Chains A and B, each alone.
Chain A
Amino acid sequence: MRKLVAFSLLVVLAVAACTPTSSGTPSPSGAAKLTTLRLPEAAKIVNTMDPGISSGGAGLEQIQNTFEGLAYVDQVSGEIKSGQAEKWTISPDGLTYTFNLRSGLKWSDGQALKASDFEYAWKRATDPATKSRYAQTLWPVKGAEAFGTGKGTADGMAVKATDDKTLVVTLERPAPFFMHLAATWTAYPIRKDTIDKNGDKWTLTKDTYISNGHYRLVEWKPEQSMTVEKNPNYWGENNGPDTIVWTLYDDVATKSVIAYEAGEIDRAVLVGADITRAKADATLSKEIKKFERQGSQWIILDTTNAPLNNVKVRQALSLATDAKRLNEVVLKDAYFNSVSIVAPGIPGQKKENALGFDVAKAKQLLSEAGYPDGKGWPANVKFTFASGAAETKAIAEAVQGIWKSNLGIDIVLEPMEDKAFDNWRTTRKDQPFNMYVSGWGSDYEDPNNWYNLLFDSKADFFYAHWKNTEFDNLVGQGLKENDVAKRKTTYESADKIINTEAPYITVYHWARFDLIKPYIQGLNHYRVLGRIQGYLVKVNK
């Protein structure tokens, strides 16, 4: 009897609990609910919110949400769209750009935005005293490189506000990619009065961090969080969340997943073992999203140091590297499989140019180079890497094994402390080495950002010490070519040369893994730089 009473009580309770309380509190359907997007960000690197100083990295997402340049790169389509400039004209010789600003542009504090704010910002970022980490962005402007390296003056830099709404820029030489540079954060406008008054501290508070983008700063607590709200003075529409809060973490990949699972943030950064764990988890597996990032990770070879100075040896190593297995098995599919040296999407890149994976051919080439089945291979060929990066270590170990079994050669692993490795790499400029791992992601989707900036023997960004006169001539022509189709084929010929000469062996192409809560829509990472644009996101909560 007692059991029965207890049971019926339970049933009554259960039913009561399940009945919707329609007569209860009325839902505030009339008033628009304020929405907040909660994102993670790396704390340490948010060391500047100053667009003129930032070199990208963490902090860029905050800068891009609070500022807007003359033009911007659409974070879905990748097209250049007009931002603060309503339109622009380019002179027939490709040297002079005239930008016409929209009318009625305002700063976040309500003051009028003028063309002179751009002129000031560009000259300030180029001035060596500003200590910009990205000053070279504006160097194609006439007189900028001289000013930036202390050989010229601000007045000698050819950027001029001819009136409040017109900005005229003259370039040193034609640069078909210049609109990409004009859309970069270094070229965002800056308010002179706040810099004059607050110096380096202008980015710290709501009242001094005056911006012109979709959002404006509410609060920045160093190492803790950053909050922005809709900027009522922005010229266009903003249908994104009312506020965006970034929580800052030292180890953003590890901590954001924990905070995400505890429901504190709406997006988490997923790397390494967490990818495998999330894929196996019933809930998390539905919230994983993999984004393409236009970048390549390579094993960089010193092409002047024996035995890798022999092109056949380099080709053999490249052909024997099972990059598909490296990504899919060793790195748990955290990236995209290797296609070619330059990342897909860059005009000039052609997957047919890549050497591919062919062990038989690799063995034959190695034999022709004088090391049949690895016999006579020198004993001290070193693979140098930063020991702090677990993934690079995994790559080095895997490659060691792959080459041993495919070619019968031995390489020596040489781990170094992270900063010691960075320093070692810096000194490779004029010192010999064998190989190390590094990579590059596009700053803008243009061949200049790869072929000229990295591989031209005058640049030799990764110190492969690789020099090919024909390649240098081709990329030099491509740099100045204004005809799009002609430019593409010129770079394609260069692409063929570098893939054949194999100073780099591609390990994978970059990717981003995110966990995103199901109530978030429109959160996108565009493949170039890929920061989240708040105004594109919907928070349905």
Chain B
Amino acid sequence: MTTYVLRRLLWVLPSLFVVFTLTFILVHATPGSPWDESDKPLPAAVKENLARQYHLDDPLPKQYIDYLANVLRGDFGPSYRSVERSVSEIIAATLPVSAQLGLASMLFAIVVGVPLGALAAVKHNTWIDYVSSLITVTGIATPPFVRVSLLIVFFSLVLGWLPTGGWEGIFDSRAIIPILAIGLGPAAILARYTRSSLLEVHGQDFIRTARAKGLTETAVVIRHAMKNALIPVVTVAGVTLANVITASFFVERIYSVPGIGRQFVDSVSGRDYPLLLGIVLVFALLISLVNLLVDLSYGFLDPRIRYR
């Protein structure tokens, strides 16, 4: 087990290196510089000075090696667009906001999605199942930027219950719309997987045995069926992290949440290479770690799985 975890952790490093290199090549292959402004072009002399000050006039291989060396020392460098905050500081300020929002959305997805799917499976082919299907299909079919816009129109403009945007911490009413907007997608996915996986488990021998022992239906579902049915669900939960991250790009931007997803979008459109590379590395690290956690959790859910 320990060797397995260590080996997996060691593999994270080369993957991060590949991600870093690919992103570096991609951003520099994309046309445009941080100081090409459409609104009011900067004079050439000023632009040249900026490029010189930020070492953008160095040959690309040198930029690559310099930047890599800095990253290895834990320094992501200056942001081209923000004069007062470095990339590390921007990430340190925005990641916790997105992490809170992401965790709350995942929690929402699990608390709503799993029971909804379980209920639909237990009440298979009844109106409960159909209502649950309707909710989940809607959740999967609407992209996050549509969900957040609709939620703002409904809760802020029509009802006037919630503000139209902003962030004052996870326990403020401003967090409700982004949590719903991000969480509904994964909730729908989880509900779908829980339902189909429970239905599949339901027909198996150990369930028949449990029933034959005379257990109540609740005990059968929760103690025997659910535990086995959760394996595909946990797998999906890992994947939904990527889902939560991409949803945050839109939701944070539209709802004015000062999170890392919004910075990511800005860094792409603003060609803020250091910020973009820094955020990509953070995301890659997160996804690698969550995948490891998912793999480890299989062992707890299914005793047949062993780690080597």
Interfacial residues, chain A to chain B (CB-CB below 8 A): 43-44, 47-50, 53, 55-57, 128-129, 131-136, 148-150, 200-204, 221-225, 247-251, 255, 258-259, 261-262, 264, 386, 389, 417-426, 429, 438, 440-441, 461
Contacts and interface: CB of A to CB of B under 8 A. Distances in A.
A250 B43 CA distance: 26
A527 B266 CA distance: 30
A203 B38 CA distance: 26
Nearest to A204: B84
B84 A422 contact: no
B258 interface: yes
Nearest to B33: A423
A483 B271 CA distance: 46
Given A200-B84, A204-B84, A418 B38 contact: yes
Interface string B4-39: 000000000000000000000000001111011111
A6 to B, nearest CB: 29
A221 B44 CA distance: 33
| Interface-centre pick from A47, A249, A251, A461 (highest chain B CB count, 10 A) | A47
B5 to A, nearest CB: 37
Contacts of A203: 83-84
Contact of B256 (A50, A249, A386): A249
Nearest to B53: A131
A423 B269 CA distance: 13
B258 A255 contact: no
17 contacts: A43-B256, A44-B266, A57-B40, A133-B35, A135-B46, A136-B45, A221-B258, A247-B165, A247-B166, A250-B253, A264-B164, A419-B269, A420-B31, A423-B31, A425-B36, A440-B40, A461-B41
B82 interface: yes
Interface string B49-89: 11011100000000000000000000000000111110000
A424 to B, nearest CB: 7
Contacts of A201: 84-85
A200 B83 contact: yes
A465 to B, nearest CB: 15
Contacts, number: 137
B49 A419 contact: no
A148 B43 CA distance: 13
Contacts of A259: 164-165
Nearest to A261: B157
Contacts of B52: 128
Contacts of A262: 156-157, 160, 163-164
B46 A136 contact: yes
B270 interface: yes
A356 B232 CA distance: 70
Given A55-B42, A133-B46, A135-B46, A426 B262 contact: no
B41 A425 contact: yes
| Interface-centre pick from B30, B39, B53, B262 (highest chain A CB count, 10 A) | B39
A225 B257 CA distance: 11
Contacts of A389: 38
A423 B32 contact: yes
Contacts of A200: 83-84
B256 A248 contact: yes
B31 A424 contact: yes
Contacts of A426: 33, 36, 41
| Interface-centre pick from A250, A441, A461 (highest chain B CB count, 10 A) | A250
A222 B38 contact: no
B175 interface: no
B197 to A, nearest CB: 39
B93 interface: yes
A131 B38 contact: no
A301 B20 CA distance: 41
B83 A223 contact: no
B31 A419 contact: yes
A47 B50 CA distance: 15
B303 to A, nearest CB: 48
B146 to A, nearest CB: 14
Nearest to B90: A222
Contacts of B165: 247, 249, 255, 258-259
A149 B258 CA distance: 37
A197 B134 CA distance: 60
| Interface-centre pick from A132, A204, A249, A419 (highest chain B CB count, 10 A) | A419
B283 interface: no
B45 A224 contact: no
Contact of A255 (B33, B49, B157, B256): B256
B167 interface: yes
Contacts of B37: 422
A438 B54 CA distance: 28
Nearest to B153: A258
Contacts of B85: 201, 204, 222
Interface in B164-210: 164-167
Contacts of B233: none
